[in-house]
Amino acid sequence: MKTAEKANRATYTIAEAARRTGYDAETLRYYEREGLLRGIGRKSTRRVYTEENLMAIGLVTCLKKTGMPLKAIKEYVSLTARGDKTIAKRLELMRRHSKEVARQLEEVTRFKDRIDFKVWYYETAMREGSAAIADMASALSRYRRETGREVSF
Amino acid sequence: MKTAEKANRATYTIAEAARRTGYDAETLRYYEREGLLRGIGRKSTRRVYTEENLMAIGLVTCLKKTGMPLKAIKEYVSLTARGDKTIAKRLELMRRHSKEVARQLEEVTRFKDRIDFKVWYYETAMREGSAAIADMASALSRYRRETGREVSF
DNA sequence: ATACCACTTTGAGTTAGCTCAAAGTCAATA
DNA sequence: TATTGACTTTGAGCTAACTCAAAGTGGTAT
């Protein structure tokens, strides 16, 4: 498929890649130095980013935003570079990470409940004066009654 | 209520407070120095932690784990110390933070979908060989068909 | 009473993840 | 052809959030 191939041959300077990915150009160079990005081509000395490179950057973003340290991302990337024989390891790694992210989502959800209780608490204090809900235990049970929501401490 | 009061008078050394909160004793001292914790008492020169202090530490944990920088937590804590006249500001702050956490939860959920696609991809590559699903576009539509899940890039 | 060890303070060091500076190179535009 | 300005490299600097070291103090177990 000549056209499909050609359609994918769009390339970008580091400034364009930076704009498209939301990173600073310095950060893209840094990621490459650190081994988080591989196979970035050059035109003379300058970096040339392909669509595939941008996808790879997107995956780095995904892993980073879900809390994976750059060091671990680097290990994953180097597994990828070692080809098909590392697929089992990559599967293992992604499964572990998925579980970790699930754990994290649950935790943050619980913490958000607590923050939303605080919001309710301050709203009520604004309306009724802070003396009216000074007792935490009864504030909590009133919150459950009025909002139907749970909070755990 | 003498009994209830007494039940709440349990106190802890920094080592006990550290164990109970999951922090290092050094970190608790650091948080106090930085203004994230106030009103920690002393017995002679040593820190004495009350149940209320532990609750305050729990709130710090909640804000920190939901991505609030220590600097912002410190501002919140200093609002609290300024009493009832800062309730409107605290409400504002908590509302903003709750929204930010909601945004974050959505984002991480989307990223998790992408990670779970990777898991499926590697599982399939293990079963069928990586050549069988090398084409991303068809891998994606097959994923949707087989799992009923969506992925966005 | 004495030894021990967790505690205190001040101040320096560490790690992750960028971010900037300086000096030089190359491609596009006037 | 000269200028502009985005690019290159190496290497230093920065911020957040701890973490440790050194020297000294005080509460508790033997």
Residue B141: predicted pLDDT: 96
Are B109 and B69 contacting, i.e. CB atoms less than 8 angstroms apart?
no
Are A1 and A7 contacting, i.e. CB atoms less than 8 angstroms apart?
no
Which residues of B are less than 8 Å from A90 in CB distance?
Answer: 118, 122
The structure tokens 């696609």 sit at: B117
CB within 8 Å: B105 and A97:
no
Measure Cα distances from B89 to A6, A73, A120, A122, A129 in Å: 56, 40, 14, 9, 15
Q: Stated in angstroms, how far is B29 CA from C11 C1'?
A: 14
CB within 8 Å: A62 and B115:
yes
Q: What is the pLDDT along chain A (153 residues), one digit of tens a residue?
A: 333 333 457 899 999 999 999 999 999 999 999 999 999 999 989 999 999 999 999 999 999 999 999 999 999 999 999 999 999 999 999 999 999 999 999 999 999 999 999 999 999 999 999 999 999 999 999 999 999 999 998
Under-50 pLDDT residues of chain B: 1-7
Residue A8: predicted pLDDT: 52
Nearest to B73 by CA among B102, B27, B36, B33: B36
Mutation choice for A interface testing from B63, B111, B113, B130 by most A CBs within 10 A: B111
Question: Which domains can be identified in chain A, with CATH numbers?
Answer: 1-81 (1.10.1660.10), 94-153 (no CATH)
**Which residue is the nearest neighbor of D7, CA to C1'?**
A46
